[in-house]
Structure 1
Amino acid sequence: MSEIVNKAVTVLNEKLSGAGFSGTAKFEIAGEGSVMMDANGARAADEPADVTLSADAETFQSILEGETNPTSAFMSGKLSVDGDMGLAMQLASALA
């Protein structure tokens, strides 16, 4: 497991705490691994999910640090979404 994935799990658990996130989501970070998110929080794993968001490590870190808006990253093609778009939007607002 990469340092980026480990950091992502920590940051996502902080951001999702109390957000009432329902469903399952997966962040696929190119060349680094995957992070699963559900009602219990975030963890390093690669499992089936309701929505999968894929980005390179630089874009993912920028989203986590609040420098890049997830919706803007999607619109510019830096973030791809496969699955439940409503759940992706719920996740984007929790990360903002």
Structure 2
Amino acid sequence: AKAFLRDGYWELQDVKVFKAGKIQTLATDKVPTNLKPEFVQERLARPETIPFYELPRKIEVARSFGLKANAFAMQFDSLVALPFLLVAMTLIAATVSM
């Protein structure tokens, strides 16, 4: 009925096991896995929802899993460049309004 990803295993609740034509019901069961909770978090997280100071770590974790971190890197780079863009726009607006 429910599954929780823990560190190194899946914890399953209300499990039905089918063996040799028989159905066995278990309250909980554990299934070993190499999947880490951080991997699932990286795949489900949108770059816009991650705070600025956490982006470098998220990029590093995503790349350590062999994932493309292009979206996270693009978000980080655009946030770093934003103050410079705003200053440039202000300077252009000031010269045009003169």
User: TM-score interval w.r.t. the shorter chain?
Assistant: under 0.3
TM-score normalized with structure 2 length? 0.22
Structure with the bigger RCO (C-alpha within 8 Å, sep 6+) is 1
TM-score normalized with structure 1 length? 0.22
Structure of larger gyration radius: 2
Name the structure where helix makes up a greater proportion of residues.
2
